[in-house]
Structures are given as C-alpha cells and as structure tokens.
Amino acid sequence: MNTHYRPLSLNVGFLLSQTAGYGRHFDFHEESITLGSDIRVEAFTGHLQLNRTPQGIVALGDFSAQLPAECARCLKAFSAPISIHIEDLFVYPPQNATDPLLLVGEDAHLNLEPLVREYLLVNQPTRLLCRPDCKGLCPICGNDLNEKQCYHPEEAEVQGIMTSGLILSAQKKSKKANVTEKKPVKTESKTEKKAAHAKAPAAAKNLKTKSAKKSVLKSGGKSPAAKKTAGGAAKKTSKKK
C-alpha cells in the first residue's frame, strides 16, 4: 500500500468556488487505513456529505471500522467493531479558525484524518472483549476457559473453605446487627427482688402507723388502747365506792 495515499485528505477547491448551499457526497471503502502514527484500522467504510457555507464547509458523515485489539479477559487478539459520527464546520479562510483540526488549508485541502482519529479514540471502549460472555483464563493454570473447562480439586476445596468462612462471618455480623437493633427488656435481678421483699414489711408497718394516727385524731386525740385503759380504771373506782 502506498504510504503517501491519504484517502481522508480531500481537495475541496471546487466547493470553495461555489455559493453557500452547494454540496457533494463521498463514499469510503478501504481495506485498511493508518490514522496518525499509532492507530491502524481495517475494513474502513463510510459516507460523507460536504456542504458549502459562508463560514467554510460543513462535514456530515458516518464511519465504521475494525480495530485490532486484545481481549481484556482471555488476552486473545481480535478485531473490535467501532463506529463514529461527525458533524463539524471546517472554517475557511484558515486564519479565521480557532481549532487547528477544523479548518480548510490554503491549499484548499480538507484533512479529515486528525478528526476521525480523535473520534475513534474517544469512542473506543475502555475494556475490549472478544465477546460479551467471554469466560477468560483459568486463574490457576491459565487455560482459556472458552475452549476447555479445567478442574483443580485441591484449589476447589480451599475455595470452598474460604467461601464457607465468608458465609459464617456474614451470618455472625447479621446476628449482631439484629441484636443491636432490638430494644433491651428490663428484668429484675435477684438483688433487686430481695430488696423489694425487705421493703414490704416496713411499708406495711408504716401503713399501720398512719392508720393508727388517723384513729387517734377521730377519737379526740386518744388512741383506742388508751380509751380501753381509762374505761377499766373508771369501773374499778366505782366498785370501791
């Protein structure tokens, strides 16, 4: 392939000489194409519409390609599909441009290569997978699990023990959390019960004392016992007489 072949560098001199509203359509079909010094894609296809405006040329296009990549799980080389859409104004004359990627040069060439490269980098997935359900590599022997399953009894036993330990630990934490959430129920201790029994006779005695005092007050200041004693003494005095 000719290294000087640049399919995304378009001579648009014929558009610049036209009035606003004039347009031209372009189709792209490339087996492979190099963008800058670090990106090479395959099966590059797309279509582009260029329209003349008072400010320059508006580019509207959709492109797709296959990007050589390595699967993040199984490390196998594969081609990742990628698609981009562009809709930008390329300013002319170039001295009016504020972005070096979006201008038409003095030589009347519109170079899409830097812009397409930037869009591909932005739209490239951060984690490339050969397929969504890729099983990856065995963490013990490195076998590709997409091609063949493997079994390691000793490691499986250790893994089972570790899993059981994690489950038990989680259950304990859950029980502690449930106990903490429950409101504590107040119960009387043996000491409190003994103290309550000891206070009962004293309380009864106090009640009797209060009752006796009320009786004294009702009987004119003398207790029933004093009245009984006074009555007996009066009877004895009358007999003597």
Reported as a single tens digit per residue, the pLDDT across 81-116 is 999 999 999 999 999 999 999 999 999 999 999 999
Answer whether residue 40 is part of any domain: yes
Answer whether residue 37 is part of any domain: yes
Decide if pLDDT at 226 tops 70. Answer: no
Q: How confident is the model at residue 214 (pLDDT cuts 50, 70, 90)?
A: low
- Identify which of 35, 36, 32, 62 has the alpha carbon closest to the alpha carbon of residue 44: 32
Decide if pLDDT at 228 tops 70. Answer: no
Decide if pLDDT at 232 tops 90. Answer: no
Answer whether residue 203 is part of any domain: no
Answer whether residue 205 is part of any domain: no
Q: Give residue 140's pLDDT.
A: 87
Q: Give residue 169's pLDDT.
A: 73
What total number of domains does the chain contain? 1
Q: What percent of the chain has pLDDT over 70?
A: 66
Q: Give residue 241's pLDDT.
A: 44
Task: Please indicate whether residue 115 or residue 223 has the higher confidence score (pLDDT).
Answer: 115
Tokens 């570790």, residue? 162
pLDDT digits (tens, 9 = 90+) for 16-72: 999 999 999 999 999 999 998 889 999 999 999 999 999 999 999 999 999 999 999
Q: Give residue 28's pLDDT.
A: 96
Q: Give residue 201's pLDDT.
A: 60
Q: pTM higher than 0.85 for the full model?
A: no
Answer whether residue 142 is part of any domain: no
Over residues 119-143, mean pLDDT: 92
Mean pLDDT of the chain: 80
The whole domain housing 39 covers 9-123
Q: Give residue 165's pLDDT.
A: 62
Answer whether residue 19 is part of any domain: yes
pLDDT digits (tens, 9 = 90+) for 144-182: 999 998 888 876 555 655 566 667 677 777 777 666 665
Do 37 and 73 meet the contact criterion of CB atoms below 8 Å apart? no
Spatial separation of the C-alpha atoms in residues 52 and 46, rounded to whole Å: 20
Answer whether residue 114 is part of any domain: yes
Tokens 């959709």, residue? 62
- Helices marked H in 124-189 — which ranges? 153-181
SS3 of residue 188 by DSSP: coil
Two structure tokens written together for 13: 């001199």
Q: What's the one-letter identity of residue 90?
A: F
Q: What's the one-letter identity of residue 144?
A: D
Answer whether residue 236 is part of any domain: no
Two structure tokens written together for 162: 């570790």
